[in-house]
Structure 1
Amino acid sequence: MNTEQSKNPLHGVTLETVVVKLVEHYGWDELAKRININCFKSDPSVKSSLKFLRKTPWAREQVEHLYLSTFASQSEVKN
């Protein structure tokens, strides 16, 4: 097993799971306040957010960071 991946807390967690859990936890409005990107503000959907985040590394990093800081102390990170 790749040691780098085994240490990565997001290993095995899809981007879709990250977005869905953040939306469930914060809602679109609060998510847009925390991460100022249009895909969370203007007619947001999981599909449009995934499309944008897959093309935009800096935005994806912010979303992943928020996910980890939100759920790090919970077992939900791996689910």
Structure 2
Amino acid sequence: AGQFGSHLPASSLTGTGLLPQELEDKIRYVGNTSKTGAYLALLSSSKRTEMETLVHEMEYLELSQMPNYQEIFLESLQFPQ
């Protein structure tokens, strides 16, 4: 999604290992979804209520506070050969 995502070919995403190879034919650009969400929140009271409810169901997870996060992150940057 978004402008950045529109410039990433599916083969690049799967070729670097960012996404599994099996998903390459399922990847598609969906546009600027954050802007669409903002429009929905402004123009639809039912969608705005739905978003407000969803906010309370979300959980924030501070990855940098997890044990060994930095080591796990660095190991995960290894791209396949």
User: Structure 2-normalised TM-score?
Assistant: 0.32
Structure with the higher helix share, 1 or 2: 1
Larger Rg: 2
- Give the structure, 1 or 2, with the largest relative contact order (CA under 8 Å, sep 6 or more): 1
User: Structure 1-normalised TM-score?
Assistant: 0.32
